[in-house]
């Protein structure tokens, strides 16, 4: 068994789509970044990569590479899942916390879970997502950005 932890944060900007967990969420601003800036999926990727001892997402998909401009983070997650499979690991569970003052994300949690479950090839019960507000404190509370923390447990599939 191995534990991995992931974290990502992106600022909110005008004229950007807000994508979290591969789900497009209606909002006046979206997360700014080189790819689609899906902070939830990025945190999940980093948690899985960390648990496997495979570095981090930025090393695999550097922002300096124009090939990854506006790339769907779900494609990145598919790549990480392939590495998980290649290394003979299986996901036991994933727990995610989204830190966002706005928009209200609770109506989208189920869609985000379904999106991740589909790419991770696991049961819905293995993926948990929750949202916490910034309580008006700091950059999250001032609605300047969204941060996501993820933790996963993986296990070796070797007998």
Q: Rounded mean pLDDT of the chain?
A: 96
The DSSP symbol for 27 reads -
What is the pLDDT at residue 62?
A: 87
Token look-up 């999926």 returns 41
Gap between the Cα atoms of 77 and 95, Å rounded: 16
What the chain holds in terms of domains, given with CATH numbers, is 2-156 (3.30.1330.50)
Helix locations, the chain, DSSP H:
39-52, 57-60, 73-86, 109-120, 138-141
- Which helix (H) or strand (E) segment holds residue 100: the answer is none
Using pLDDT thresholds of 50, 70 and 90, give the confidence band for residue 40.
very high
Tabulate helix, strand, coil % of the chain (nearest 5).
Answer: 35, 30, 30
Can you tell me whether residue 105 is helix, strand or coil? Answer: coil
pTM greater than 0.85: yes
Per-residue b or e along 90-123, where b marks 16 or more CB atoms closer than 10 Å to that residue's CB: ebeebebbbbbbebebeebbeebbebbbebbebe
Token look-up 């985000």 returns 112
The pLDDT tens digits for 48-60 are 999 999 999 999 9
The pLDDT tens digits for 84-111 are 999 999 999 999 999 999 999 999 999 9
Bridge-based pairing state of the strands 89-99 and 145-156: antiparallel
């Amino acid at each position: 068994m191995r534990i991995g932890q992931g974290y990502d944060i992106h600022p909110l900007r005008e004229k950007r789509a807000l994508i979290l967990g591969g789900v497009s969420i209606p909002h006046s601003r979206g997360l700014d970044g080189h790819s689609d800036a899906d902070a939830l999926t990025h945190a999940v990727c980093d948690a899985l990569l960390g648990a496997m001892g495979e570095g981090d997402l930025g090393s695999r998909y550097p922002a300096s590479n124009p090939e990854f401009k506006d790339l769907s983070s779900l494609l990145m997650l598919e790549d990480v899942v392939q590495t998980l499979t290649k290394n003979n690991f299986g996901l036991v569970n994933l727990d995610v916390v989204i830190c966002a003052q706005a928009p209200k994300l609770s109506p989208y949690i189920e869609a985000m879970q379904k999106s991740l479950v589909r790419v991770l090839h696991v049961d819905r019960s293995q993926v948990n997502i929750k949202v916490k507000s910034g309580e008006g404190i700091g950059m999250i509370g001032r609605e300047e950005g969204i941060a996501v923390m993820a933790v996963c447990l993986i296990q070796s599939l070797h007998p």
